[in-house]
């Protein structure tokens, strides 16, 4: 009687191997990470792997193109509103109010005198690494100081800040309204030049904290005329609504 | 002869495309990825034993199914108890794939070299024999 578990060996191997290769091929292509299942496979990948795979997701060029289109359309919108308002006294008053609100909220292009703050990473290797680089809270401190000292419009690297703007740190980069900001960071503000200048330069102020570390990190210039584009992000409200009583006619 | 498995692998990869079975979603896809490594390891092992002339289809088929189940199960179990056990599976299987492939390479090399030596010996024997045949 032959033992069924006896290993005979030396059988033809090509066809068994080929058949399982077929199965393996099906498995590989089912486990492949493609466009359709990238999202759901995310959570199961390591953090840095997820980052590497997601990098292709946002098309930076397309984003830039679309946001410049948005600001162009907003300018056009302003022009059209002005044209419509030319007809009667009432509509002119309405339009003035509208333009005032839009200017205040950053939806129009705007110009005026002000300052430019330029922040760069320090090249001084004697400093701690944490002190050498520009952080999100440096931007926040400066922006806060500028608003507090009467800035009427602020732009960071060409991106207009509005009431809902955010400045935060995402991994190694700073994001302003989900747009990546890299050094050198140019913070431009429109307002009274000397007020803005003084607000950053007072003893113990923002400028001094940089100068203590490395004076090359912080540069401030007076500018005769800034020209800012309109805010180019989304202004859509998803949850908030105007309460009905506010819309009632008196 | 080694082309048959490679051809089969390519056909296998293409089958889901034509049947429109999309790639698997979520965690199942991740477990299947580990199982793929196990499958690859078994296939490499099969080729190796084939070249060593010790191939046994029962061992091969059962190894394929078992290794896949173990890799899949280990990855699943690791997630249940919060340890990345699939890394262990990936490490061990990766190492085995490497060693199997290096043995396959060595087998093919020795076979090729011994073939060449045999041919050279034959040629030498012929050239030595010829003068004796025609004095």
Interface confidence, given as ipTM, is 0.74
Using alpha carbons, select from A113, A125, A163 the residue that is nearest to residue A143.
Answer: A163
Question: Which of A56-70, A161-175, A205-219 has the weakest average pLDDT?
Answer: A56-70
Contact between A17 and B39 using a beta-carbon 8 Å cutoff: no
Cβ(A206)–Cβ(A145) under 8 Å? yes
The pLDDT value given to residue A142: 92
Q: Residue A89, exposed/middle/buried by CB under 10 A (0-12, 13-18, 19+)?
A: exposed
The pLDDT value given to residue A57: 58
Distances (CA, A) of A5 to A98, A220, B64, B92: 89, 84, 17, 27
The pLDDT value given to residue B132: 56
Residue range A97-103: mean pLDDT, rounded: 85
Q: Considering only the beta carbons, identify the residue of B36, B56, B61 that sits closest to A24.
A: B36
Cβ(B56)–Cβ(B45) under 8 Å? no
CA atoms of A147 and A95, how far apart (whole Å):
26
- Summarised one tens digit per residue, pLDDT across range B34-83 is 888 899 999 889 888 888 888 888 888 998 999 899 888 888 888 888 88
Cβ(A200)–Cβ(A142) under 8 Å? yes
Distances (CA, A) of A28 to A24, B73, B100: 6, 17, 19
* B90 and A CB contact within 8 Å: no
* Token duo for residue A118: 């330029």
Radius of gyration of chain A (CA): 29
Sheet holding A110-119, edge to edge: A159-160, A153-156, A185-190, A110-119, A218-228
H or E element that contains A118: strand A110-119
* A40 and B CB contact within 8 Å: yes
Cβ(B24)–Cβ(A37) under 8 Å? yes
CB atoms under 10 Å from CB of A189, counted, come to 31
* Token duo for residue A41: 């496979």
- Summarised one tens digit per residue, pLDDT across range A138-148 is 899 999 999 99
How many angstroms away from the CA of A49 is the closest CA of chain B?
13
Contact between A13 and B22 using a beta-carbon 8 Å cutoff: no
* Token duo for residue B14: 């293409």
CB atoms under 10 Å from CB of B74, counted, come to 19
Contact between A16 and B57 using a beta-carbon 8 Å cutoff: yes
Cβ(A226)–Cβ(A111) under 8 Å? yes
- Predicted confidence (pLDDT) at residue B2 exceeds the cutoff of 80: no
- Summarised one tens digit per residue, pLDDT across range A56-66 is 556 677 777 78
Using alpha carbons, select from B33, B55, B47 the residue that is nearest to residue B99.
Answer: B47
How many angstroms away from the CA of A63 is the closest CA of chain B?
28
- Summarised one tens digit per residue, pLDDT across range A192-207 is 999 999 988 888 888 8
Find residue A170's DSSP bridge partners: A173
H or E element that contains A221: strand A218-228
CA atoms of A53 and A39, how far apart (whole Å):
10
Using alpha carbons, select from B61, B67, B109 the residue that is nearest to residue A15.
Answer: B61
Distances (CA, A) of A245 to A135, A238, A242: 44, 20, 8
**Residues of chain B found within 8 Å of residue A21, distances taken between Cβ atoms:** 5-6, 8-9, 12, 43
The pLDDT value given to residue A188: 93
Give the phi and the psi of residue A11 in degrees, each rounded to 5: -95, 170
- Predicted confidence (pLDDT) at residue A40 exceeds the cutoff of 80: no
How many angstroms away from the CA of B80 is the closest CA of chain A?
13
User: By percentage, how much of chain A surpasses pLDDT 90?
Assistant: 15
CA atoms of A163 and A168, how far apart (whole Å):
15
The pLDDT value given to residue A1: 45
Cβ(A153)–Cβ(A189) under 8 Å? yes
Mean pLDDT for chain B? 85
What does pTM read for this prediction? 0.47
Give the phi and the psi of residue A214 in degrees, each rounded to 5: -160, 115
Cβ(A27)–Cβ(B17) under 8 Å? no
The pLDDT value given to residue A101: 86
């Amino acid at each position: 009687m032959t033992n069924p578990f006896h290993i005979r060996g030396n059988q033809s191997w090509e066809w068994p191997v080929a058949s399982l290769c077929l199965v393996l091929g099906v498995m590989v292509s089912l486990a492949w990470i493609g466009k359709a299942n990238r999202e759901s496979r995310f959570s199961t990948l390591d953090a840095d792997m997820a980052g590497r795979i997601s990098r292709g997701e946002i098309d930076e060029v397309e984003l830039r193109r679309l946001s410049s289109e948005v600001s162009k359309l907003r300018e056009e919108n302003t022009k059209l509103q002005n044209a419509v308002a030319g007809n009667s006294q009432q509509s002119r008053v309405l339009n003035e109010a509208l333009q005032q609100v839009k200017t205040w909220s950053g939806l129009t292009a705007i110009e005026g005198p002000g300052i430019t703050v330029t922040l760069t990473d320090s090249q001084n290797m004697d400093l701690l690494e944490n002190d050498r680089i520009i952080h999100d809270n440096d931007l926040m401190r400066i922006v806060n100081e500028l608003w507090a000292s009467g800035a009427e419009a602020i732009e960071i690297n060409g991106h207009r800040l509005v009431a809902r703007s955010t400045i935060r740190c995402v991994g190694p980069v700073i994001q302003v309204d989900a747009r990546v900001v890299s050094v050198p960071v140019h913070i431009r503000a429109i307002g009274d030049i000397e007020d803005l200048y003084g607000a950053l330069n007072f003893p113990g102020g923002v400028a001094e904290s940089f100068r203590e570390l490395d004076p090359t990190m912080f540069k401030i210039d007076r500018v005769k005329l800034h020209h800012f584009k309109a805010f180019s992000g989304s202004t859509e409200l998803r949850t908030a609504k105007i309460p009905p009583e506010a819309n009632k006619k008196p | 002869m080694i082309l048959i498995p490679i051809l089969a692998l390519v056909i296998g990869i293409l089958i889901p495309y034509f049947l429109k079975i999309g790639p698997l979603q979520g965690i199942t896809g991740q477990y299947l990825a580990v199982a793929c490594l196990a499958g690859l390891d078994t296939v490499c092992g099969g080729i190796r034993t084939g070249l060593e002339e010790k191939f046994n289809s029962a061992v091969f088929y059962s190894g394929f199914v078992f290794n896949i189940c173990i890799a899949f199960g280990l990855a699943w179990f690791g997630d249940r108890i919060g340890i990345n056990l699939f890394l262990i599976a990936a490490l061990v299987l990766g190492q085995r794939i490497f060693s199997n492939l290096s043995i396959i390479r060595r087998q093919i090399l020795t076979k090729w070299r011994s073939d060449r030596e045999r041919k050279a010996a034959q040629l030498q024997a012929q050239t030595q024999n010829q003068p004796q045949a025609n004095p």
